[in-house]
Structure formats: C-alpha cells, structure tokens
Structure 1
Amino acid sequence: MDFDDILDLATLDNVSAALDLRPPNREAVETIAMELGRHYDIDHNTDLFECVVDAATGVGKTFIFAATMEYLAQVRGVRDFVLVAPSKTILQKTIDQFTVGHPKSIVAELPAPIVLVTSENFNTPLVAELMDDDTVVKLYVFTVQSLIKPSTKSGRRTHEFQEGLGSGFYQRLKQAPLLTVFADEHHAYYGDVFSKAVRELEPWALIGLTATPHKKTPPEMVIFRYPLAAAIADKYVKTPVIVGRTDDKHDPTTKLLDGIGLLERKREVVEKYCAANGTECVNSIMLVVASSVDEAEEWAGVLRSKQFLKGRYSDAVLVVHSDVPADTEAEAKELRRLTDVEDPNSPIRVVVSVAMLKEGWDVKNVYVLLSTRPMLSELLAEQVLGRGLRLPFGTYTGVQLLDTLEVVAHEKFEELLKKKNGLNEQFVDFKTRAVLRRDADGNAVVVRETEPVNNGLQTPDGTEVITAGTPTLVQQERRDKSASEEANNLKVAVLPSTSISVPRVRPKSIKVEFSLSDIADLNVFTDLGRRIAADPDGVLRRVLVGAHIVQDDSGFKHVVMTTEVAADKVAASMLTFPLDGSRASLQDIVLALSIITAREDTQGSQKRAAAAIVDALITGLGKDAERLLSAFHDRAAAELCNKVNEEYKKVAPMPTMADEVDVVQFNSQRLCTRPPSKDRYGVFSKLVAYEGWNKSLYSLEWFDSSPELSFANLIDADDAIERWVRLHTGELRIVWTAEGNQYNADFIVRETCGDEWVIEVKADNEVKTGEVQAKRDAAKRWVNRVNNSGKFENKWHYLLVTESDVKRAKGSWAVLRKFGT
C-alpha cells in the first residue's frame, strides 16, 4: 500500500483551499484521514474507529469538522454524517453554521451542497426522500439527550416510528452505510451511556471534537493535539498579558479599577481601528469570574455603585449564573443575554460570571479577564482563559492592545515572578499528529508524531515591549502607562475602499520644433528662385557651402552642410537631371532639417508644406530650373535651407514648458492619529476624524475648516454623487506659478453620470485674494489639459465654492454648481 492509497492529497488540497483552512486544521483533517486508513485499510480492523481531536479554543473546530465531512464524502463516499451536540445552545449554533443565508453560515464555502436534517424536519416527505438518495450528503444534527434519552420530546421523535420514513429515525440511521458520527465538545458527555448509545447506531467512525479532553480519555485515543500554547505562539488567538500590582492592594474596587482602566484604553484603540478600516465596531468587554453567586453580586454591586467612576458603569454590568439547568428555556435566555454583548450597540461593558461559563458562549470581544479569587492557575486554565482569546478581527492587527488579552492577577508582581516557573507550565505543552512514513520493506505506514511547544512567560525589562504570540508578565503600573501611550499615539492605517484613476499633470521642459506650416508667405522662396535665375553667377558662384542628406546608424536622415570650391562662373553640366528628381531631393533636404518634426509627420502635413516651398523656389527659377539644379544642386539646396532657417527665426516660439498628462491610480494608505467622531453635523473640530460616510473613498475623513466639512456632508447625501475623496497634501498637485509652485485642491468628486470635479472650498474672506484667483485660473488650465489629453473618457471640471455658497445651496449639489466659479 502506498501513500496515495491512504491520503488523497489532491482532494485535501481542494477542500483546504475552499474552506481556507489554517495549517493546524488541515493537519487535523490529514490525521483523521490517515488514522482511518490505518484502522481499516492497513490493519484491516472491523470494529468501530473511535478517536478524539484535541484542538485549542479559538482555532476553529467547526472548520475541522466541515473539512473532514467534505473529504470523506469525496474520497470515501460517505453520505450520512451525524453531529451530536451537548446542549440545545451548541445544537442551534451548529444549525446556524450550516444554514444557507445565516450570518454565521459556512455553507457557501463548501464545494458541494449538504442537506441539513434536524429533529424538527427529518419526518417531512422531502427530507425522507433525500435520506434515501445516495447521491446527496446529509448532516444530521441533534443533542446527546435526544440520542440517549428517548423519554424527552425530541428523543421520542428520534426513536419512534415515523410514517414518512417508514421506520424510526434512530433505526433509519442504523441502516446508513459508513455512518460517521462527530461528538462536539466530546468531554461534556464522555462515558459509558453515551458510548453505548452511539455504538447502537453501528457507525463506521466516531470522532470526538474538544479543546479539553476528558481526563479519563485514553491517551492513544487522542490522535491529534494542538494545544492552546501552540495557538498562542502561532497567533491564532490573542496573546495573554498577565498584569500584577507592585503593592498589596487586592480589594474589589482596586482590582476592578485596574481592569476597567485597561479596558477603556482598549476601547479607545478599537474605535480608532474600526473607524479607520470601515469595519463594524467591536464592543470590548471585561469578563469577571466569580466563585459564588454572592461574590458575583458583591463585585457587580461595586461596579454599579454611583461612587465607582461616578456611576459610569451603573447600567453596564451583566451578571450570569452558571447553575441554570441545562437545556431549559432559562438557559437559552441566559445564553442569549451573553451572546448579545457582542452586539456593537450593546450597553454592557462587564460580564460577571459565576464559575466557568458553559460551552456555547464563543464571543470574540473579551479584552480583559479578572478573577475574584487569587488562584491565577485557575484563571489560566483553558476553559476560562479561552473565553477571552478569540480574535475579534480574525487575525492579528499589528496593534498591540488589539492583539492581547489582559489577565488581571491578585498577587503582587514580585510574587508572580517567584511563581514564574509554575506559571510557565500553563504554556508548555506538546502537539500530536499523524504522518506517513515507510517501513523497512518500503510499505506506507502511519505513525504518530509529537512535537514540544515551549511558549513560556516573557518578562520585559521595563521597556514593556510585548512580543506577539508570547505570554507576558508585566507590572500593572507600567502596563497602564504603555496602554495609555499606545492609545494616545496610535496611528491607524486607513485604506481606500477602491482604487480610482486620476490625472497627473507634470510640467516638462521641451524644445518647440518648427513646423513648415508656420511659414505663411511662400513668396520669399519664389523671390530666391528669381534672384538665382536672374544672376546665377552672382548668387551661386559665391555660395561656398553645399547641403546634402546623410543617414545615421539609427536610420534617421539629417542635413549636412559642406564647403564648396568657389566658381568664377556657372558652367553648364554635361549631364542634365530630370526636374522631378531635383524637386524630390530638395523636399527631402528641407524635411531633414532639425528644426521641424518631419520624423513624426504621420499626417503628411510637413511633406506637403515642403513641396510647396520647393515649388515656390522652382517657380522663381523659371525655365532654367532643371539646368541650374542639375549643375548646382547641393549649393542651391544650401541656399534654400538658409532661407528656411531665416523664416524659422521669425515665427518660431521660444523654448517653453509643456504639460505631460498621465493616468495614475489613487489608492494611497493614510495614517490617522485623530480619534473618530460620528458627530458630522455638530461643532466642527480639526482634532477628530469623521466617520459614517456613505460615498467617501475612505471610512475616515478629517478637514481643515468647517466649510470643508459642510461641503463633504452635502455631497455625501446627494443622489447625484457617486463617490468623493478629501485630498491631502501632495495627492493632486497643480502648478500655479511660472516658478513651478504647486497647490493642492480640496476634493475630487465623481457624479453618477461619470463627470469628475476638482473642488476648492474657501472661506468668504479668502476667495477674492489674488492668490486664490491665480490658483483657480491654473486649475482651469489643468482641467483643459486633462480633457484635451484624450486619456480620460469622462470630462473633468473645476469648481471654486465659498462657505456662503455651501449654505445657500441647502444640500443640493446641482444648486451649488451654479453658485461656484
């Protein structure tokens, strides 16, 4: 048996790409596939394949499950999958994830459609028909209680006879070939009762998924292990930062103030980051873990008191009791309350929980974790620590306060340092996975590979530089200071929603080449011909320079002047050349002059002008033209070139500057240091970045004046506007003085019809100044050059508006256009 017989890499690659699997999740699917191959294909076992996959909280067990299901459906032909959930809450979460159109659904990523079957729909005629279809992949989702307790309503439905199916649902599952069962949160119902219920289904495979295997789970059953220490090191979850005070204070008020202080700094940074990136804001919260109901109420009472931060948290606290009976409406209501704290508009800032929260609360917005008890090791246990480690933005942002979870400890910092070795044990672990090897005979075999993970605590030396992915121990006071500095000095990268094409007009020094068409009076050449014809001895005898064409290595022709020996008189040549040949030769010489653009004469205008000049000369030469040009062609050509040069000096402009128009992409990243503000219609401030725009290229815009903000509000609300951007220095330069001085306009606005506008907004007392008027004129010339360049399909315009214009327009772009100049 070879590797390909055990693992189908091509299919695994396709599934991994479709679901965008993280490396550890792909390794988990590989391991399941290899261990199945070993169990059934290599060892030829006939008993149930049973295993546990141990994947850290926040890594994505749902994707491991979905990818394994897809792989087995394609490679093994499995058509019936069961996912057993420990509670109704997790059941509903799974149903949501596999329901088309649900906000948390991952179904769209799956290569093939899956029919979702629940205890609510399995007995319908349509589902009954699909269950008999061997071409359709079915996912059956129900709670462990309905599987092992037929006395419950859903359990009775599962086991009892159903007319649509012809037999009980439970019996129908037993008949499914290659039935594969996944046990989500496997540790929650580990034991003989569950094992017996599952084995009665006679499945082909039973795969447990958990982040904390039950302590009685046989080690050999855990085929894959990716611990929390590895997830932290690989930056799939937040980096824990353990914070300890330098004094002995550990009363509730002090500890809560420590936690709230860090939380508020994080909330500032979150707001800046979300506003800058145009993402929905995250409601950052603190989780307080209490040991009893009385303790939870005591600490919640401190937070709610009017004395605590002047009552700011009176209505911002949620207390959750974990002793609510499972699978009851009370539990469902409590979980809904917990889930609602993830809503960006939730007023809750602190959740106080009694003991460990139940599975199913998988929010990503916990940024501070605090325990009412001094046992830090309990707080660092995965069941508790994992509640705050999920990444709200899906990946590390590069902003330290957004990528860390603050763990507020009771012990003094010095005491924590003494316990460092013990605390290190929380972050030292090992990974396990299956790999393919060859034995001594060259056969493919599956072996377990174990790799240590040593991600011990870092203790910065006072600089408080925290290494992402490394758990860190710091002093509370220093952490407060560094958090405040980061919140105040944060420069958030602001990216445009799309890239747009804009003109770049650059002044370019050019030498203006002479065009023969610029010579309006051809009589000068006719007169030259007459002078030559009337007195060839007096004209041509004294010409010491001749003209003829040479061709350089690049193939271009140009005129070369040569010195001739003076003749005492005109001697007729023994040979006479046809006049047409001389005419053509003279035309070529004129066209080869460096002062004209003959080389770029694509329209033939220069050739026609040269022909007219030569014809004027020949006209002047009269009936002796053929003879004279045959005898003194080169010297006649030189005389003609001299005359053309004379005319050039009369009409040619001086060397000047020309504008070169290019098309460039406007997609620059901006750095924002200002706090975001949604108050776009309130009192203007230069110190904030305004958010909430509908048509701006950037989610955050900041302005130099109140008229600019008013203009932005006007165009953002007008239906005639497609998009706009407030320009920053250097983003659209317009030259406005002869010395090359540049100025920057305020806005680019695109109408829905496609026309583009460069806008300048000025205060009333500025608009009449000479500088503003000069800039306006330069901008209008800029627009003309852009439109005449032929490089833009849409027309560009320029508009100068005042603060009074914006007010008088009363929100109408069409009216404002009429007011502007």
Structure 2
Amino acid sequence: MNRHVNAIAGRLSLRAPQRRSLEILDRITEITPPKKDRDLLATLEIIRSEFPSVTDFEREFPSLCFALATGVGKTRLMGAFISYLHLAHGINNFFVLAPNLTIYNKLITDFSDRTYSKYVFKGISDFAIDAPAIITGDNYNQHDPASGTLFGGVRINIFNISKINSEVRGGKAPRIKRLSEYIGESYFDYLAGLPDLVLLMDESHRYRASAGIRAINELKPILGLELTATPFVEGTKGAVPFKNVIVDYPLGKAMEDGFVKEPAVVTRKNFNPAGMSPEEIERMKLEDGVRLHESAKVELETYARETDNKIVKPFLLVIARDTTHAWQLLALIQSDGFFEGRYKDKVIQVDSSRTGADEEEMIERLLKVEHPEEPTEIVIHVNMLKEGWDVTNLYTIVPLRAANARTLIEQSIGRGLRLPYGKRTGVTAVDRLNIVAHDKFQEIIDEANRPDSAIHLKAVVLDIDELDQKTATIVSQSQVATQLGIKPADTTVSTQIAGQDVQPLFTKPEEQKVAQIAYEVIRKMENQPRTVPTLAHLKNPEVQAAIVKAVQEQHRPKQLELEGVAELPDFTAIVAQTVELVTQHTIDIPRILVVPKGEVKAGFKPFTLKLDTLRYPAVSDELWIQHLRTSQRDKVTLGAGGIEEKRIEDYVVSGLMDFDDISYDDQADLLYDLAAQTAKHFCSYLSEDEARRVLRCYQHDIARFIHAQMQDHSWEEAVDYEVVVSKGYVELKPSAYTYSINDPVADYRISPNDKSNMSKYVFGGFTRCLYPIQKFASDAERLLAVIIDRDAMKWFKPAKGQFQIFYKQGADHPEYQPDFVAETNDAIYMLEPKASNQMTDPIVIAKKEAAIRWCKNASDYARANGGKPWRYVLIRHNAIAQNMTLEGLSQQFTS
C-alpha cells in the first residue's frame, strides 16, 4: 500500500506530520483491515500492540485521534485520508462531522469547489475525472442516494453536529432518522447499513460527549478518524486527555518545524504599572497594539515588494471582557482622538448582540478580513473567535479580558498562527504573532517556560522612542521609471515613492503618456535578443521606427474623437528621447540560461560514510511507547508505515528513496552499499534486533543524515551544454525598504553614528546611481558606494530577482544577487564585499563560482554584440577605503 501513500503525499504536498499520519493509517489498515462488525476488543489489542498510546477507542467502533496543531493542515489531511481509503481499499462512503455552522460551510467549500485554492483533492487525478458527490445536511433527503446517477462513485456526507445536537434534545430522534420517501427508510438507517462507511470528525474535542455524537454511534462505521488540535476535554478536575490518540503533533513542535508563526508576548521597556489605573493600562496596551499593527503593515508590504509576492493586509484582534466593554472600545477607536480618527471606518465589533442586517454586515466583513479591498483592520471580539475561522493575516492580539496566563496563551494564539505565504519567510516581522500583555508579561513568560508547557514564547520589549518612530514602505524605482512618471502597482497608505523631487523628462501629460507606452514597448523588446541584442541597438533607425509604429497603434489621444481636431504629439521625438533615457540609465544585463543538450544523467559516486556521530541508543519497548504517546520529537516515527522490512538494510534504502534526487533503478547498488555500511555501524555496538528497531524508529533522520553526505559525492553529465540568451537586456526592478518617516534620507558620503544598525538608514545624494535611494548592509558597502559613484559611469544595488544566478547548496539551488553592479568605460563589474573571515566560506565560494560562470557567458554574448565584458570581484571588506579606486580593487581581487 505504500505506493498509494507516496503518490497521495506527493500530489497533495503533505507536510511531514501529515504524511506521518497517513503512513500510520496505512499501517493500521494493514494490521487490522477495516470491515463491518469487527470485534472491538480484539481490534484494540492489535492496534495497542504497535501503538500503545491507544488504550481505548472511547466509541462503540474503532476510532483513532490524530492531534495536529492549529495551522498544520487538518482539513488537507482529511482529504488525504479519504483519497487513500478509496484508492487503496475501495472505500466509497464517508461521513464528515463539523462542530458548528462555520466549519460545516467551510468543509462543504473545501470538499466541493474545485476552483478553490484550498480544494482538498487538488492533484488527485482519480477525483479530477470522477469528483466525489458531496451530500450535506441540507440536501440529503432530496434524492435517492442509492441511485448511481447522482450519488455514484465516492460519496462524502457532511453534517453539522450542533444541528443534530439541537434536534435530539429531550430524547427526540434527529431529522436524519426520519423516513425518506425516496428510499423507504431513514437516511440514517441507509448509512448504517453501508458496508464501508468511515466517519471523520473535525475538531472532535468540541462534541465528544454530546447527545448528537451518541446518536452517531448507531451508524456503526467501520472506522472513525478524529482530528483536533486539543486532544482533551475539560472536566471538573481539569483536562482529561483522549485515550485514542495515535498521532500527537503539538504546537511547540509545529513552531519548531516552522509550520506556524512564532508567537511573542510584548511589553514596554521599563513598564511599571504603579500608579496607573486599569483604564490607563488598557488604553496603553491598545495604543501600543495599534503601533505594532502599523509597523507590521509596513514590514509586510516591504517584504511583498522585495519578493514580488502579494501584499498581505494585517489586522489587529482586541479581546474584550463583555459586550458593554466591546462597545466602549469601539467608541474609543472610532473617536477623533484615537490616532487622529484613522481607524474610524476600519474597526468592527463581533459579538452576539448584533441582529438582522447589522449582523449580516458584521459577518460579511469578518469573513473578508483577509481581502485587501476590505477596510477592516481592527476586530473587537468578546470571546476568542472559534475554530473554523481560518485567517492568515492576524498579526497583533490585544487581550483585555481578566484571565490567568495559561488561558491567555491558549485563547490568544490559536487563530493567529497561520502563515500568509504557507511557510516561514525568515523575516521576523512577517513570521511573528504579537500578543500585547504589558501587565501580564512576566506571568505569561513564566507559564510558557514551564517544563510541561507546549510552547516557549519569545519576548518582545518595546522602546517607547522606537514606538513613536512611524515607519513606511519606500519604493525606490529606477531613474528611468521615476523620470517617466511611472508609479508602482498596488500603492497603499503606507507606500512612499522615492525620487518625487526628480524633474520628469516630459511635463505635458499627453507626452508623458506616449513615453510610458514607448517604455512598455521597449520592455517587450527584451524578449527579442536577435533583433535587439543590447540596449544600444534601440537606437538603430529600423528599431526606433518599429517602436514609433507600435506606440502609434496603442495611443489613444484624449478627446481626439470628440473635438475632431487635436494636436498629435511628436511620436518620433518622444520615442527618441525615451530611448536615450533608457540607454543612459540602464546597464545591459542579459537573461542567460545554461541548458543541456540531449539526455542529462545524474547520480552519486560510491564513498565511505562518516558515521562516528550517528550513535542512537537501543530503543526499548518502554521508550518506544513513550515517544509514540507524546510525539515530542518528529524523528520518532514508524518510518514507511511501520512495515517490518525483511532485511535491516531495507529501512535505510526505503528512507533514501523518499528524496527526489535519488533514483532507485539507477542507483540501487550504491544505496545498498550505503545501507550495508549503516547497518554494520549500528550492529557494531547493538544486537541485530536492537539495530533493526533503531533503524525503524529513526529511519527518516538517518536517511537525512546519509543524504546530506551524498551531496558531496554527486555528479551530473550531459551530452553538452549550450548557453541560451532569452533576453538581451532586462528592466531594472524596483526595490522596497522599510524606513522611519521622521528620519531624513542620509548622505551616503557620511558615515552614520550607529554603524551596527546600518539597515535602518536610507541613503541618497548619489550622482551616478541608477536609483534615487539605496540601503547598505554594512559601512564597508557604503564606502564602496562612495568609490563607485566617483569612478563608475553608472551603478546600482540589484533588487531580488534582477539576476537569474543560482548556486549549489546541498540539494538546493538558491538564487544569488550580487551586492553591486557598476559600469565603467571598459567593463561591467559585479562586486561583492565580504567580511575578511568569510572570504573562504563554502557558500561564499559557491556564489563566487556561479557568478564567474555567469560573467563569462555574459562576456561572450557582449563580445558578439559589441558590448562590454563582465568581471566578478569578491572584495575583502577591510581593503575598502576612500583612497582606493574601482580599478585598483578590481586588479587586486578579480578572480
């Protein structure tokens, strides 16, 4: 069955804990195949023999709980479960329970809308041809479910348990149990009679002991699969853990593995509540929360512009004590005195006091809070928003309810952990959820740091001076775009545009419009390297004539049709001026692709593994039980579904086959050689049985350990390679920076006071830079800019994505952007200043080698088209001084 696991995990892009859950389901169905009327105790004993954490099904049918932290992807896992059970075991009937109306409606969309980005079966080819029939609590009694016309193939029933709960009050039977005129029995009895019904329970902790779920017991499904982030129920004596948890992937592990945001508790520097009233503390927390929100908004926009991603609009959640308190907070935020009234129309109050059209408007705004066009930036809520409200843009929470630290942690972070881009970005502000808790700060930190705590919160201490530094995103476009009056796309209230004081090339609106059209035509000519191999070729008469013709075809002069007469702009003159501007303020950067001719072969050379540090202790039965129950470490796994391999080497080979760059058919001999080395190593200090258990338990970690060493022995060969130039030149991409609007643009010739925090400064005043402003990562970079601005004809610091240069780092090929590009009379330089102790760093060397190859190919292309050669210069930082020249540095450091 493992081929189904591999196929589904690949097609649905399952994360490690999701895949592990699917592997365990595969193993469960192998050791105890799902079927009707199984002996419950016998089935439990079989499962307990391998998964001792399952001590009781707690149902009248076999039921297993998969506890995955919020944000890891429980709904996607449900789709994987259904796909697997259908493809591997031919199961066609599923019953999905939702705890409330919100999740019920969400699940219907997730399972039925194939155009939806979160469609759970996206990539499952069998369902693309024959999509599952979705039967809901609203339409189940309208058709004959047994007819093959409407409900053929896979049938997924989605029901709302809260509605069933309301129907069974007073001992009454739920509506689903009433007679159906279509089938001559109740729909409930029809389901109960199916030989292959599987029950899936979403957020199962919400209704574990409800009357509705007791009624569902009578369906007698062949298997129950429960999903929750909190595998326990609150009893009178505290939390009571589930007894059927087979996978437990807690929040702390999800944070450690980078699947969710990093929650952080926030206070003010030197905060002292002495003498402050509760109202004053509350207002301070609210105002600081808004300041953090405004800062996050800027950082998110800057990141999006830097990486060419969608701009995420964050929002702030305020948790109020009660409805009266919520109304008071709403009035405060909507007042003119609160941040100059900026949030008057950007706040909503969400609670049960709303009715009718007012309630509908509130719900609509709440559900659209992720949409950029929806103005809401502050949500006031009395009780923490419930499960099913899956937003990715919650970045700041201000809890104003009286609660202990544990409650604050549990209630505050649940809804805000999902990541807007699906993964961590490495940018702290984009990856962090802020919880403003000045008066509870130390209490929360202490609670989070308890040994039994699921998480360890980061601490953020705000400096009031820094809080008052209002920031914005400043977009630095090329001088060409600036002088042509081109504006960046998707500007927000936080967007500033550098170079607004630059004199435009054309002052008349109609001429500016023609010039902008001409620039778009020139940009499209990037893709015609045979016709326009370099920027200089834009000046050829036939090329300019083609540009003029294209501009005339696209131009629609204002009011020309209405007035009958209008003075047409001088297209030829405007095009000539635009071409001159582009050639003078751009550097020829070709888009170079190195592609293989013929068949490419790749693999790994035989080598001896270094296994000295790989010394796992023997895995006792007791230790195995403990790890499976708590799942404190992701490396504790059953490997490929926990299947017993015939040879212990097969555990290693099976683990290595999961890597995309390893082909079993081509490299089986090498894989078994490495596996034999590994098995021999473990058998040198363990018995064969102990070695088998270690290889089984730590299969994925051992495979990763070996795979990392394999990268140093990889090879690749092709019949030949050819250099393909897809673009003769590329436009200069805009850069985006976060900066303080209170600080003026710094003079690049003057060393700043705080050299340790260079990233906060925006520099300007350049003479020959192709952008109005730049940022520098170090003072050495600033000094190099001084030299370049003096010695070069033109220069700039490339934005992300400007070059397509990739270097090898293990199995990955990250993109490399050099620090500077400068053009002189004789050459174009790619310059990289580096700290003296990093000059021989393997990653620095890998980047250097990739850049040198690119420069050689670019030089060959330039030489063939009358251009200048490219040179790569890796410069030691302490060699940079104002008395040095660009030519001198080049001679000293060019490779």
TM band (smaller chain) = 0.5 to 0.7
Which AA in structure 1 matches 2:489? E
Unaligned runs of 5+ in 2: 45-59, 274-279, 492-496, 538-542, 554-569, 591-722, 730-895
Q: Does 1:232 align with 2:255?
A: yes
Give yes or no for contact 1:401–1:483 (8 Å, CA) kept in 2: no
Q: Does 1:110 align with 2:103?
A: no
Deviation at 1:686, TM superposition (A): 9.8
1:425 matched residue in structure 2? 450
Judged with a 3 Å threshold, the aligned counterparts in structure 2 of structure 1 residues 766 and 82 are, in CA distance, closer, same or farther, namely closer
Deviation at 1:282, TM superposition (A): 2.2
Which AA in structure 2 matches 1:58? G
Q: Does 1:178 align with 2:214?
A: no
**Whole-angstrom distance in 1 between the partners of 2:243 and 2:336:** 56
Deviation at 1:278, TM superposition (A): 4.6
1:560-600: CA deviation from partner (whole Å, max 9, x where unpaired)? xxxxxxxxxxxxxxxxxxxxxxxxxxxxxxxxxxxxxxxxx
Q: Does 1:340 align with 2:368?
A: yes
Q: Does 1:242 align with 2:257?
A: no
1:528 matched residue in structure 2? none
2:27 matched residue in structure 1? 34
Give yes or no for contact 1:73–1:79 (8 Å, CA) kept in 2: yes
Deviation at 1:687, TM superposition (A): 11
What is the TM-score with the length of structure 2 in the denominator? 0.50
Which AA in structure 2 matches 1:290? A
Which AA in structure 2 matches 1:674? V
Give yes or no for contact 2:72–2:254 (8 Å, CA) kept in 1: yes
Judged with a 3 Å threshold, the aligned counterparts in structure 2 of structure 1 residues 724 and 198 are, in CA distance, closer, same or farther, namely same
What SS class does the counterpart of residue 109 from structure 1 fall into? coil
Deviation at 1:155, TM superposition (A): 8.2
**Whole-angstrom distance in 1 between the partners of 2:263 and 2:185:** 53
**Whole-angstrom distance in 1 between the partners of 2:576 and 2:361:** 62
2:68 matched residue in structure 1? 55
The equivalences for 1:136-147 within 5 A come to 136-147=153-164
The equivalences for 1:653-732 within 5 A come to 674=475, 690-691=488-489, 706-707=504-505, 714=514, 724=524
**Whole-angstrom distance in 2 between the partners of 1:426 and 1:687:** 59
Which AA in structure 2 matches 1:350? I
1:292 matched residue in structure 2? 322
RMSD of Structure 2 on Structure 1 (CA): 5.1
What SS class does the counterpart of residue 355 from structure 1 fall into? coil
Q: Which moved more, 1:10-19 or 1:354-363?
A: 354-363
The equivalences for 1:512-551 within 5 A come to none
1:271 matched residue in structure 2? 301
For residue 475 of structure 1, the aligned residue among 455, 461, 472 is 461
For residue 390 of structure 1, the aligned residue among 406, 413, 418 is 418
1:595-643: CA deviation from partner (whole Å, max 9, x where unpaired)? xxxxxxxxxxxxxxxxxxxxxxxxxxxxxxxxxxxxxxxxxxxxxxxxx
For residue 4 of structure 2, the aligned residue among 5, 11, 23 is 11
**Whole-angstrom distance in 2 between the partners of 1:337 and 1:774:** 45
Q: Does 1:80 align with 2:80?
A: no
1:404 matched residue in structure 2? 432
1:663-706: CA deviation from partner (whole Å, max 9, x where unpaired)? xxxxxxxxxx62799xx99xx6899961159xxxxxx9999763
**Whole-angstrom distance in 1 between the partners of 2:318 and 2:526:** 44
Percent identity, aligned pairs only, is 26
The equivalences for 1:347-496 within 5 A come to 347-373=375-401, 375=403, 377-378=405-406, 380-411=408-439, 415=442, 420-425=445-450, 428-429=453-454, 456=456, 471-477=457-463, 481=466
Which AA in structure 2 matches 1:298? Q
Give yes or no for contact 1:119–1:157 (8 Å, CA) kept in 2: no
1:200 matched residue in structure 2? 218
Which AA in structure 2 matches 1:109? G
Aligned positions, number: 521
Judged with a 3 Å threshold, the aligned counterparts in structure 2 of structure 1 residues 716 and 95 are, in CA distance, closer, same or farther, namely farther
Deviation at 1:165, TM superposition (A): 3.1
Judged with a 3 Å threshold, the aligned counterparts in structure 2 of structure 1 residues 482 and 323 are, in CA distance, closer, same or farther, namely closer
Deviation at 1:199, TM superposition (A): 1.3
What SS class does the counterpart of residue 45 from structure 1 fall into? helix
Give yes or no for contact 2:144–2:183 (8 Å, CA) kept in 1: no
**Whole-angstrom distance in 1 between the partners of 2:425 and 2:13:** 19
**Whole-angstrom distance in 1 between the partners of 2:337 and 2:312:** 27
Give yes or no for contact 2:548–2:575 (8 Å, CA) kept in 1: no
**Whole-angstrom distance in 1 between the partners of 2:187 and 2:218:** 13
**Whole-angstrom distance in 2 between the partners of 1:63 and 1:426:** 32
**Whole-angstrom distance in 2 between the partners of 1:206 and 1:342:** 34
Bigger Rg, structure 1 or 2:
1
| Bigger share in strand | 1
Unaligned runs of 5+ in 1: 1-7, 430-454, 457-470, 491-672, 694-699, 737-744, 756-760, 783-790, 798-821
What SS class does the counterpart of residue 125 from structure 2 fall into? coil
What is the TM-score with the length of structure 1 in the denominator? 0.54
Q: Does 1:315 align with 2:308?
A: no
The equivalences for 1:146-165 within 5 A come to 146-148=163-165, 150=167, 158-165=176-183
Deviation at 1:363, TM superposition (A): 1.1
**Whole-angstrom distance in 1 between the partners of 2:262 and 2:581:** 57
Deviation at 1:317, TM superposition (A): 1.3
Judged with a 3 Å threshold, the aligned counterparts in structure 2 of structure 1 residues 233 and 366 are, in CA distance, closer, same or farther, namely same
Give yes or no for contact 1:147–1:155 (8 Å, CA) kept in 2: no
Q: Does 1:191 align with 2:209?
A: yes
Give yes or no for contact 1:376–1:409 (8 Å, CA) kept in 2: no
1:479-503: CA deviation from partner (whole Å, max 9, x where unpaired)? x739969x66x8xxxxxxxxxxxxx
Give yes or no for contact 2:417–2:433 (8 Å, CA) kept in 1: yes
Judged with a 3 Å threshold, the aligned counterparts in structure 2 of structure 1 residues 150 and 370 are, in CA distance, closer, same or farther, namely closer
What SS class does the counterpart of residue 126 from structure 2 fall into? coil
**Whole-angstrom distance in 1 between the partners of 2:263 and 2:195:** 46
Which AA in structure 2 matches 1:312? R
Judged with a 3 Å threshold, the aligned counterparts in structure 2 of structure 1 residues 106 and 283 are, in CA distance, closer, same or farther, namely same
1:722-778: CA deviation from partner (whole Å, max 9, x where unpaired)? 964999xxx986679xxxxxxxx99x989999x9xxxxx999999899x969989xx
Deviation at 1:100, TM superposition (A): 3.1
Judged with a 3 Å threshold, the aligned counterparts in structure 2 of structure 1 residues 775 and 209 are, in CA distance, closer, same or farther, namely closer
